[in-house]
Chain A
Amino acid sequence: MESLEGSSGVRRVVLSNQSFRRFKDKLAYGLGVLCVVLAMLPLASILFEVVGKGLPAISLGFLTKTTGNITDPSSGIGNAIEGTLILIGVTSLIAVPIGLLAGIYLAEFGDNKFGRTIRFLNDVLAEFPSIVIGILAFSVVVIAIGHFSAIAGAVALSIIMLPIVTRTTEESIKLVPSSIRDASMALGIRRWRSSLSIVLVTAKDGVITGILLSIARISGETAPLLLTVLGSGFFFSGLDQPIDALPLRIFTDYKNSNYPSPLAQGWGAALVLIMLVLGLNLSVRLLTRGRSSFARARA
């Protein structure tokens, strides 16, 4: 009797507990949805504002003319676009070969203490505050040349780019099936030749993905450029001279945003920059469905 009563009490507790547990499960799901929505809100707002306020500024003249006087409404961001493209080019010339070889080293010969140290330091370097890298490039290049210059900016950006290229190259090479390597070895191909012409070529999709993502990353970097490139109102006039870049132009426009035309120009430049960066990212992501998100999150 007593035990029966007790057991029905237990059953009731279990039942109510079970519905409470179900409720908690639903609650957790709802909170999860809420978190995702909350995180997407800023992204949606950024895209909405940048497109809405940037689009009216865009015109052929805006994209091709140089930045003139603050009060000149017909000024453009042609020099900034040109500068960003030049910086991307020079930076890639410096960082891609080094990153490729460093990545090959880590994948092919890096299974030892030195390799593990490099891999670790590479991950640490990838997370360096970019402004510290700016100070580094300033202390080395700007001091050596004596003034702010495009090449100093490219050096700073290539230090940001290098760890990303290294990491993605290593990961892509490691994804190459060992049968391909074995086959090339069986044909008597030298190791260096097999690494470069067989393994690296097989891994090229991943490598190119890494390079494109790192380009997307550096084209939006501003802080190191403030310390190295400074910005300019004119077209490119030599690698040892200051140059303009889209993020720098946006920052200058922010400083002058009390005037109406720099404000409009800033939104326009932001639209061009975000189209460049998100365009690179989206195309890469569409090309590489199903790859590990680890490298992407770091890039």
Chain B
Amino acid sequence: MSLSEEARPQQAKTPARRRLDALRTPRRFSADDLFETSSTIFAAIIILIIVVTSVLLIRGSIPVLQSFKTGFFTGTNWISVAGSESYGVLPYVLGTLVTSAIAVAVGVPLSLGIAIFLAEMAPWSLRNALSRVIELLAAVPSIIYGFWGLFVFRFWVRDYLEAPISSYVGAFPVFQGTPFGLDILTAGLILAIMIIPTVSSISKDVMMAVPSSQREAAYSIGATRWEVVRTGVLGYARSGIFGAIILGLGRAVGETMAVTMVIGNASGPAALPTSLFKQGATMASVIANEFSEAEPGSLHLSALIGIGLTLFLSAIVINVFAQLMVWKVLKVRAGSVE
């Protein structure tokens, strides 16, 4: 439909039409034009912000990239003492990867369970109320997750998860170290809680966008409710759910405060995530911890902006990918169901 509408004016540009246009009074610059132009300019601010962010991050990280070249991405040292400065982001990149992986591994099954339950199984009277409660998890500020994580959740993890694991399978390299509660595992689990509302509510929307003919077809050949979900709904909603998971991953990668408060904040090679029970650091937590201490114009600041650039690039890649996946599914809904 939109194609034919766009094509029509082009076809209509016959000489007759052009003469007709010339006969009309010349268009003056009207208030409507001003309105359209100004609102376009304001919309373009969004592009401007993204461009300025990229330029500033790249410009800010040039000094550290010139000093360390690719060593900035492969190095493990992080020494900000003047004279023996050395900056490598590898431990923090790995820390971000490991904590986000834990978040996805733990948070996604829970979120999908919630989404399936709320979209397909729960009693109708409960669906809205429960969705709203789950969405409230997204409203809690991350600093409060951090505070709660530090004074409450940390002890749950230490006593009910880490202590048993440590006493039974503590010999495995990934579980080495004393269970302390302020470590990579706790940070990953806090992130898992924090991505639940994102992943579950978008997956739920995607599942609800699946045409009901899919469900009816499955029911009509005698499928149980679970089989309807598994065969009729999940397959259809697959790419949207995948997008929701990637969006959750994006949230986990960029999350700062809660992680900073529970990960233990190791530095340099000590932050390499060799064990889940080790104190670590993520890209975001290092920026949050050290940014206000770095002197303007120093190599230290440049290194932190370099981490910001790395974080920015990963977030852009993750989000562009996720938005494309979610859009593909929800755009269908906008036209067909609603």
Contact = CB atoms under 8 A, between A and B. Distances in A.
User: Do A and B assemble together?
Assistant: yes
Interface of A: 21-22, 24-25, 27-29, 31-36, 38-40, 42-43, 45-46, 49-50, 97-98, 101-102, 104-106, 108-111, 114-115, 117-118, 120-125, 127-136, 138-140, 143, 148, 159, 162-163, 166, 190-193, 195, 216, 219-223, 226-227, 230, 247, 250-251, 254, 257, 266-267, 270, 273-274, 277-278, 281-282, 285, 289-290, 292-294, 296-297
A293 B287 contact: no
Contacts of B239: none
A297 B217 CA distance: 31
B46 A226 contact: no
A192 B32 contact: yes
Interface in B181-195: 193
Interface in B1-19: 2
A201 to B, nearest CB: 16
B142 A220 contact: yes
B57 A132 contact: yes
Nearest to A249: B143
A221 B43 CA distance: 24
B224 A21 contact: yes
Q: Which 3 A-B pairs have the closest CB atoms?
A: A220-B141, A129-B254, A32-B117
B43 to A, nearest CB: 4
Given A24-B226, A223-B256, A163 B137 contact: no
A39 B137 contact: yes
B227 interface: yes
A229 to B, nearest CB: 10
B139 A278 contact: yes
B319 A247 contact: no
Contacts of A230: 292
A36 B151 contact: no
Interface in B42-59: 42-47, 49-50, 52-53, 56-57
B61 to A, nearest CB: 10
Given A49-B151, A140-B52, A293-B204, A35 B117 contact: yes
24 contacts: A25-B224, A29-B121, A29-B225, A36-B117, A39-B200, A45-B152, A46-B140, A97-B42, A123-B323, A124-B50, A127-B250, A128-B53, A136-B49, A139-B56, A166-B43, A190-B32, A192-B34, A192-B35, A192-B36, A195-B35, A223-B284, A267-B147, A270-B143, A278-B140
Nearest to A159: B49
Contacts of A247: 141, 143, 257
Given A132-B57, A226-B288, 10 more contacts: A28-B121, A36-B122, A36-B130, A39-B110, A46-B140, A98-B45, A101-B38, A105-B36, A124-B319, A124-B320
A139 B114 CA distance: 41
Contact of B141 (A36, A38, A129, A277): A277
Interface stretch (B87-95, B166-174, B266-274, B309-317): B309-317
Interface of B: 2, 30-32, 34-36, 38-40, 42-47, 49-50, 52-53, 56-57, 60, 109-111, 113-114, 116-118, 121-122, 128, 130-148, 150-153, 193, 196-198, 200-202, 204-205, 224-227, 229, 247, 250-251, 253-257, 261, 284, 287-288, 291-292, 296, 304-305, 308, 311-312, 315-316, 319-320, 322-323, 327, 330
Contacts of B287: 131, 134-135, 223, 227
A136 B60 CA distance: 10
Contacts of B138: 297
Contacts of B257: 222-223, 247, 251
Contacts of A101: 38-39, 42-43
Contacts of B122: 32, 36
A277 B134 CA distance: 15
Contacts of A191: 32, 35
Contacts of A296: 135, 201
A297 B198 contact: yes
A138 B291 contact: yes
Contacts of A102: 39, 42-43, 45-46
A35 to B, nearest CB: 3
A131 B46 contact: no
